[in-house]
């Protein structure tokens, strides 16, 4: 049994409500009723009936009150809400989160930063759980203009608040959604959820687009994805971005991730990066 901690109750409430709202009652065999008054999605009583859980208990859970839960109950809710594997993982992490006891080991970050700077396959960065760039190689600096003092070192701020960075991405909405989805998963496993919550609050004030995406039940592990860029000097770039997490033993000490972006064969990106390397010599 576990009790959902205070810091995650608001996000748990928002996630469950948003997941309910996206389900069409007709798809789960619930006929239309005038009592719904046009409200989208499943009512709480509908969900409880499908999942076979108590209305009072679930109402308390969704309201953000501290309640005891079991794996069986969470599985029933996840099934009823038709959560995918990432969303199910997120729900369990929100409820069963435990604060790590050990402080982060800064020597791990220093080592990872040195590794990132030596990578020459393509643009590479070391990012923390809030997508702050901790270290980067020269290709990443050049492609994403990371060393400019006028630019934020945070990739989410750049994505939502920097018009130049927005136009760099040919599929901006895809990139923005993927970043927020992985930020949610980072939140579920972060060493300090309060740090991520403070960052989300700041971003929500600065960008309504960010807030709208964060409020949706969109959550995902950091998976390889192909990004297309329109760079002002290098032209069109097609890069596959891969996140390299630390081992579980290391992850007990830090929440940083290495991002390596490699050129997609046959797109001319390798040749463009070679031109960048020549410029940077």
Whole-model pTM? 0.83
Residue 55 shares a structural domain with residue 166: no
Let me know whether 153 and 201 are in one domain.
yes
Asked whether residue 80 falls in the same domain as residue 134, the answer is: no
For residues 21 and 215, give the distance between their C-alpha atoms in angstroms, rounded to a whole number: 12
Q: What is the pLDDT of residue 1?
A: 41
> Residue 25's domain is classified under what CATH number?
1.10.260.40
Considering the domain architecture, whether residues 114 and 224 belong to the same structural domain is answered as: yes
Distance CA 65, CA 3 (A): 9
Residue 36 has pLDDT above 60, yes or no: no
Average pLDDT across the chain, whole number: 86
* Residue finishing a domain among 49, 78, 96: 96
pLDDT value of position 276: 94
Predicted confidence (pLDDT) at residue 147 exceeds the cutoff of 70 = yes
Residues 11 and 117 grouped into a single domain:
no
Same domain for 153 and 256? Answer: yes
Q: Is residue 248 part of a domain?
A: yes
pLDDT digits 0-9 by tens, 51-93: 999 999 998 888 877 778 888 888 999 999 999 999 998 998 8
pLDDT of residue 249: 46
**Same domain, yes or no: 22 and 79:** yes
The answer to whether residue 6 scores a pLDDT higher than 50 is no
Predicted local distance difference test score (pLDDT) of residue 262 = 96
- Look at the block and give the residue holding tokens 């990132």: 116
Give 105 or 272, the one with higher predicted confidence.
Answer: 272
Show which of 37, 62, 96 is a domain's final residue: 96
Residues 74 and 110 grouped into a single domain:
no
Say whether pLDDT at 2 is over 50. Answer: no
Q: How far apart are CA 61 and CA 4, in angstroms?
A: 8
Residues spanned by the domain of 181: 106-280
Residue 37 pLDDT class (50, 70, 90 cuts): low
Question: Are 173 and 200 contained in the same domain?
Answer: yes
Q: Above 70 in pLDDT, residue 146?
A: yes
Q: Which of 96, 124, 152 marks a domain boundary?
A: 96
Are both 164 and 216 inside the same structural domain? yes
Rounded to the nearest 5 degrees, what angle is found at the Cα of 257, between the Cα atoms of 153 and 95?
Answer: 105
Instruction: Quickly list DSSP for the chain.
Output: -EE--GGGHHHHHHHHHHHHHTS-GGGGTPPP-GGGTT--S--HHHHHHHHT--HHHHHHHHTT---EE-HHHHHHHHHHTT--HHHHHHHHHHHH----SSPP-HHHHHHHHHHHHH--SS-EEEE-TT-BEEEE-HHHHHHHTTT-TTS-SBHHHHHHH-HHHHHHBTTHHHHHHHHHHHHHHHHHH-S-HHHHHHHHHHHHHH-HHHHHHHTSS-------EEEEEEETTTEEEEEEEEEEPPPHHHHTT---EEEEEEEPTTTTHHHHHHHHHHHH-
pLDDT for 40 beyond 90: no
What are 65's two structure tokens? Answer: 């009150």
Rg value, the chain, Cα: 21
Note whether residue 69 is domain-resident.
yes
pLDDT at 250: 46
The confidence score (pLDDT) of residue 71 equals: 86
The answer to whether residue 200 is domain-embedded is yes
Residue range 232-274, pLDDT digits in tens: 999 999 999 999 876 554 445 467 899 999 999 999 999 999 9
Contact yes or no for 63/47 (Cβ under 8 A): no
Within a domain: residue 216? yes
Q: What is the CATH number of the domain that holds 140?
A: 3.30.450.180
Indicate the number of domains in the chain. Answer: 2
Residue 61 lies in a domain: yes
Q: By C-alpha distance, which of 99, 150, 146, 151 is closest to 126?
A: 146
**Are 115 and 191 contained in the same domain?**
yes
Same domain, yes or no, for 153 and 210? yes
Residue 5 has pLDDT above 50, yes or no: no
101 assigned to some structural domain: no
Q: With contact defined as beta carbons under 8 Å apart, do 162 and 210 qualify?
A: no
Phi, psi of 30 (to 5 degrees): -100, 115
- pLDDT (mean) for 97-107: 57
């Amino acid at each position: 049994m576990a009790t959902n901690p205070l810091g995650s109750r608001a996000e748990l409430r928002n996630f469950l409500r948003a997941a309910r709202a996206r389900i069409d009652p007709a798809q789960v065999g619930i006929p239309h009723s005038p009592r719904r008054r046009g409200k989208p999605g499943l009512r709480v009583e509908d969900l409880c009936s499908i999942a076979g859980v108590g209305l009072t208990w679930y109402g308390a859970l969704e309201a953000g009150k501290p309640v005891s839960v079991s794996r069986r109950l969470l599985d029933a809710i996840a099934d009823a809400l038709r959560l995918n594997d990432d969303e199910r993982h997120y729900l369990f992490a929100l409820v069963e989160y435990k604060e790590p006891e050990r402080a982060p080991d800064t020597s791990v970050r220093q080592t990872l930063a040195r590794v990132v700077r030596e990578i020459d396959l393509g643009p590479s960065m070391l990012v923390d759980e809030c997508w702050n760039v901790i270290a980067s190689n020269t290709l990443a600096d050049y492609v994403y203009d990371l060393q400019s003092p006028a630019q934020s070192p945070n990739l989410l701020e750049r994505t939502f608040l920097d018009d130049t960075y927005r136009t760099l991405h040919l599929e901006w909405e895809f990139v923005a959604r993927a970043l927020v989805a992985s930020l949610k998963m980072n939140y579920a496993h972060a060493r300090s959820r309060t740090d991520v919550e403070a960052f989300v609050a700041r971003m929500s004030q600065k960008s309504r687009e960010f807030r709208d995406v964060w409020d949706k039940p969109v959550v995902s592990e950091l998976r390889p994805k192909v990004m297309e860029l329109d760079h002002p000097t290098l032209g069109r770039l097609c890069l596959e971005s891969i996140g390299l997490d630390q081992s579980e033993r290391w992850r007990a000490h830090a929440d940083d991730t290495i991002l390596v972006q490699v050129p997609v064969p046959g797109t001319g990106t390798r040749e463009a990066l070679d031109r960048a390397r020549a410029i940077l010599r």
